[in-house]
Amino acid sequence: MNMRWSATALLALGLVAPAVAGDDPCAGVEIATKVIEIHYRDVGDAAQLADQMIGECGAYKVPRALHAIIVEDEPARLERIARAIGEWDEPPREVQVSVSLLIATRDLPPAAGVADELRDISRTLSEMTRWTRFRSLGTASLRLREGGEGQAEIAERYRVSLKIKRVDQDRRRILVEPFRLDRLPAPVTAGGSSIEPRPRRLWSGELDLEEGRQHLVGATSRGRQRAIFLVFTAWPVDDDGPEASGILLQEER
């Protein structure tokens, strides 16, 4: 008995190799290889940048023994990748961050009590929110490198903690993540020993700050009888400092 097999059946049995649609697009393409050293930034981030720019015939790998990535691609594209990574791989910038703390209530506004540099802010908040009286508790200033973190106390009862995640020079933005504001309870004496109670978190999150511009975050108390406002200003140390360019307001309950 004669048996006739269709091409589909033979393919299903693995007796016939599937047809290849077209030739290899990278056949005959000149490919160059370059070791790109990473001096300041994270190698994983550099690999992500290369992955976004690499061509159809390109490839990259991250050797464990080197703080570098090895990229293969067409010569012109390879040079563009190397140049982009070189411009991105800059030393971390130093940033100055100023954090001021204001307590807001609905009392009649006092004649004094708010520092001159915060008086315009309190006036703006009075016009934009239901809070009428503002009292400055103090200001903390931190100088940190990109990727660095630090903390400072304000008025001995509050502590700010933050990390400079990234400085975007093109957008003139400074990303702070994480940021946290804690209230420090008074020490408790028990059995002749002083015990430091655990700090109480009042606010935490991330901040996308425009260089030199004041940025406000507000948190309302549970009874809504008062609110806390944080005034942030951040700028690279190699700049001249902040300029008065407006206020961004964010209030949370």
What is the amino acid identity at position 10?
L
- Would 6 be classed as within a structural domain? no
Closest-CA residue to 176 (of 135, 211, 206): 206
- 172 and 71 fall within a common domain: no
- What percent of the chain is modeled with pLDDT above 70? 75
60, two tokens: 């990259």
CATH number at residue 37: 3.30.1370.120
Q: What is the pLDDT of residue 11?
A: 43
- Would 1 be classed as within a structural domain? no
- 132 and 40 fall within a common domain: no
Distance (Å, rounded) from C-alpha 97 to C-alpha 212? 10
Q: Which of the listed residues 56, 88, 120 is the one where a domain comes to its end?
A: 88
Within 13 A of 108's CA, how many CA atoms are on the CB side?
A: 2
Please check the confidence at residue 229 and state whether its pLDDT lies above 50: yes
Distance (Å, rounded) from C-alpha 67 to C-alpha 181? 36
- 105 and 168 fall within a common domain: yes
Crossing angle between the packed helical segments 43-53 and 75-88, to the nearest 10 degrees: 140
Q: What is the pLDDT of residues 10-59, one digit of tens each?
A: 344 444 445 454 578 888 899 999 999 999 888 999 999 999 999 999 99
- 31 and 150 fall within a common domain: no
Number of domains, the chain: 2
Distance (Å, rounded) from C-alpha 251 to C-alpha 107? 19
Looking up tokens 């990390």 gives 163
151 by DSSP, 3-state: which? strand
Q: What is the pLDDT of residues 132-163, one digit of tens each?
A: 788 889 999 999 999 899 999 998 899 999 99
More confident call, 3 vs 231: 231
Q: Which domain holds residue 66?
A: 27-88
Q: What is the pLDDT of residue 30?
A: 93
252: confidence class by pLDDT, cuts 50, 70, 90: very low
206 φ, ψ (degrees, to nearest 5): -125, 155
